[in-house]
């Protein structure tokens, strides 16, 4: 429960803000006699810690209101501990009550392994030194492999952010690929170092498809190149089904996502958004970045080749 809540919190939070997931369930005093124990379970999950407590209360010792008070107090204390806030140390438990607590800490490598395995949905590295207004909740996301990150990537996100006005710019890498093995933890950490050096926020997710990214980051503006547009509107990538393509992209539109499109070389020809036949019902979710605002004919692939990688 705490893990589900943690992942939900990640989706609702602004990049860089700490998130805590809380789980609670139990069986307390009721108007009918209980054959089992009066017991409750509570857990909290943060990026690097999971805390779990099981508390068994002495039967017949308290009213329902009193058991509610005990469980509520311990729940608030657990949340305070997860948030690293000082909490009152007064205990409402007696010697006849039983409490079992254990805590697991995660290293960065373990967090990334959990992400690759799909247990957590993404991890944010808020390296940006720039400050954004509290209302800048909309994410402006440039997704890619960034192998390597280059000036063209940085410039494209800067220009896209100027188009959006108010938003939080960040890069995003999926540790899981659609048609390749997932990145290893060491590969992910090597990519992350580039963003730390550049002072740019990066999100590591486990969703390679844009419609899944849209579910992770509803209301976001995704910055893409013309080559990605060519794939997004090609039924070939939707089992050859034009209707399926429309349905999936319309789903992205319904949750407030848009695509900011920069020009890109496609099969040796520089193309912009206007070169593509966007379905009428989807046109308003695609916004063109004019070539006079952004055009850098460089790619990570070319950089790797020139470097003999």
Together in a domain, 56 and 146: no
User: How confident is residue 121, by pLDDT bands cut at 50, 70 and 90?
Assistant: very high
Residue 252 confidence (pLDDT): 97
Residue 308's pLDDT band, with cuts at 50, 70 and 90, is: low
Q: What pLDDT sits at residue 16?
A: 77
Would you say residue 128 has pLDDT above 90?
A: no
pLDDT attached to residue 183: 97
Return the half-sphere exposure (C-beta side, CA atoms, 13 A cut-off) of residue 109: 4
**Residue 183 sits in the same domain as residue 241:** yes
Considering Cα of 123, then 4, then 25, then 50, what sign does the dihedral take? negative
115/110 Cα distance (integer angstroms): 9
What phi-psi label fits residue 146: left (phi over 0), alpha (psi between -120 and 50 degrees) or beta?
left
Buried residues in 121-137 as b, exposed as e (16+ CB within 10 A): bbbbbbbbeeebeeebb
| Phi, psi torsion values for 193, nearest 5 degrees | -55, -35
Model confidence at 299, pLDDT cuts 50, 70, 90, reads low
Q: Tell me: the pLDDT tens digits for 63-114?
A: 999 999 999 999 999 999 999 998 776 678 999 999 999 999 999 999 999 9
26 and 98 share one domain? yes
303 pLDDT more than 60: no
Query: End-to-end distance of the chain based on CA atoms, in angstroms?
Result: 44
Cβ burial of 191 (10 Å; 0-12, 13-18, 19+) is buried
Question: Are 58 and 114 contained in the same domain?
Answer: no
Q: Exposed, middle or buried by CB within 10 Å (0-12, 13-18, 19+), for 88?
A: exposed
- Percent of the chain exceeding pLDDT 90 equals 77
Select from 299, 301, 273, 269 the least CA-distant residue to 287: 273
Q: Global pTM?
A: 0.89
Q: Could you say which of 105, 120, 151 is where a domain stops?
A: 105
Answer yes or no: do 68 and 167 share one domain.
no
Count up the domains in the chain and report the number: 2
Tell me: the pLDDT tens digits for 233-277? 999 999 999 999 999 999 999 999 999 999 988 888 899 999 999
Find where tokens 């995003």 sit: 172
At which of 52, 80, 105 does a domain end?
105
Domain boundary among 74, 105, 136: 105
Same domain, 202 and 115: yes
**211: three-class secondary structure by DSSP:** helix
* 168-174 and 221-225 strand pairing: unpaired
Q: What is the pLDDT of residue 167?
A: 87
* Partner residues linked to 235 by β-bridges: none
* Average pLDDT over the chain, rounded to an integer: 91
Q: How many CB atoms lie within 10 A of CB 80?
A: 14
Domain CATH code at residue 143? 3.40.50.620
Host domain of residue 20? 1-105
Same-domain pairing of 112 and 216: yes
Same domain (yes/no): 157, 186: yes
Are residues 231 and 144 both part of a single domain?
yes
pLDDT of 7 over the 80 cut: yes
For 293, counting Cβ atoms within 10 Å of its Cβ (0-12 exposed, 13-18 middle, 19+ buried), the class is middle
| 135 has pLDDT over 60 | no
DSSP states of 109-134:
HHHHHHHHTTSS-EEEE--------T
Residue 143 reports pLDDT greater than 70: yes
Residue 271 to residue 46: CA distance in whole angstroms: 44
Same domain, 91 and 120: no
Same domain assignment for residues 85 and 192: no
Please report how many Cα atoms fall inside a 13 Å half-sphere around the Cα of residue 54, on the Cβ side.
Answer: 3
Looking at the structure, do residues 120 and 223 belong to the same domain, yes or no?
yes
pLDDT mean over 47-55 = 97
Q: What pLDDT score does 181 carry?
A: 94
């Amino acid at each position: 429960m705490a893990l589900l809540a943690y992942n939900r919190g990640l989706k609702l939070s602004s990049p860089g803000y700490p998130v805590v997931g809380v789980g609670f369930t139990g069986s307390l005093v009721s108007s009918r006699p209980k054959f089992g124990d009066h017991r409750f379970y509570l857990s909290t999950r943060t990026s690097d810690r999971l805390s779990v407590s099981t508390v068994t209360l002495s039967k017949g010792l308290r009213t329902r209101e009193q058991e509610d008070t005990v469980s509520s107090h311990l729940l608030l204390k657990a949340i305070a501990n997860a948030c690293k806030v000082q909490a009152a140390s007064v205990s409402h438990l007696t010697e006849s009550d039983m409490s079992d607590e254990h805590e697991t800490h995660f290293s960065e490598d373990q967090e990334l392994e959990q992400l690759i395995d799909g247990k957590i949905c993404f991890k944010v590295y808020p390296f940006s030194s720039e400050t954004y207004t509290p209302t800048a909740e909309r994410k402006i996301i440039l997704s890619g492999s960034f192998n390597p990150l280059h000036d063209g990537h940085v410039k494209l996100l800067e220009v896209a952010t100027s188009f959006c006005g108010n938003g939080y710019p960040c890069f995003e890498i999926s540790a899981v690929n659609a048609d390749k093995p997932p990145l290893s933890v060491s590969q992910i950490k090597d990519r992350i170092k580039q963003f730390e050096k550049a002072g740019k926020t990066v999100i590591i997710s486990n969703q390679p498809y844009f419609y899944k990214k849209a579910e992770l980051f509803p209301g976001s503006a995704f910055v893409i190149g013309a080559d990605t547009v060519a794939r997004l509107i090609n039924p070939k990538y939707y089992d050859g089904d034009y209707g399926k393509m429309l349905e999936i992209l319309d789903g992205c539109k319904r949750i407030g996502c848009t695509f900011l499109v920069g020009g890109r070389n496609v099969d040796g020809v520089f193309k912009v958004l206007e070169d593509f036949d966007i379905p009428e019902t989807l046109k308003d979710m695609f916004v063109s970045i004019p070539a006079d605002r952004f055009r850098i004919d460089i790619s990570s692939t070319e950089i790797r080749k020139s470097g003999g990688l």
